[in-house]
Chain A
Amino acid sequence: GDSVTQMEGPVTLSEEAFLTINCTYTATGYPSLFWYVQYPGEGLQLLLKATKADDKGSNKGFEATYRKETTSFHLEKGSVQVSDSAVYFCALMEAAGNKLTFGGGTRVLVKP
């Protein structure tokens, strides 16, 4: 079945540092890929998405590129802020489907 694997956290870094969170997936066909973010005590929010190979999703300084050849969708941000401290989830949705399959989540802590 479909699955998503992302790097385990926590990831601790200083403000203005570069952030990368690795995400790889296994799926049949051509899924859509997503990054969701969960701030403390809140539900998940869509951060960005990509629907086909080589698409780049971007939002709030975060970017991720759909790499079909490596089945990856790594999340990056060039300069993190304390407010980026959260748990980040990579997820996929089957091409003809309607449900999200999530990775295990990566906790990111940004220190001033």
Chain B
Amino acid sequence: DAGVIQSPRHEVTEMGQEVTLRCKPISGHNSLFWYRQTMMRGLELLIYFNNNVPIDDSGMPEDRFSAKMPNASFSTLKIQPSEPRDSAVYFCASSLLSSGANVLTFGAGSRLTVL
């Protein structure tokens, strides 16, 4: 398996522009997570889906952020409009929801810089 695939790996944009980050989870996994990593705040869970349905979006910072999972093999995280404080590394992770301890597999991340 190719693992969790994220794109783009790097994005540099200007304040006010729309940013779309993409994620392809591991085939067969039924949970998907979006995390944000910054020096100041560490790793923060933004939102997660079970079976393509958003379960907890309490970590989404504000209305400028939105996430979708139209099918089991694709998810997007959109920021519109972007601001410099959104600069961070955004990680997507997936897992197979089971009765045991679910192990999350992370993608390599998308590094976003908003100028």
A residues adjacent to B (C-beta < 8 A): 32, 34, 36, 41-46, 49, 51, 89, 93, 98-105
Contacts and interface: CB of A to CB of B under 8 A. Distances in A.
Contacts of A43: 4, 91, 93, 106-109
Interface in B38-94: 42-43, 45, 48, 50, 55-56, 91, 93
The 5 closest A-B pairs by CB, nearest first: A32-B101, A43-B106, A102-B43, A44-B106, A104-B42
B103 A49 contact: yes
Contacts, number: 50
B108 A98 contact: no
A93 to B, nearest CB: 6
Nearest to A93: B101
Most chain A CB atoms below 10 A, which of B48, B56, B93, B102: B102
B111 to A, nearest CB: 9
14 contacts: A34-B101, A36-B106, A41-B108, A43-B4, A43-B91, A43-B93, A44-B104, A44-B106, A45-B106, A49-B103, A98-B97, A99-B48, A103-B42, A104-B42
A71 B97 CA distance: 25
A34 B104 CA distance: 10
A105 B101 contact: no
A103 B91 CA distance: 16
Contacts of A98: 31, 48, 50, 55, 95, 97, 102
Contact of A49 (B42, B45, B101, B109): B101
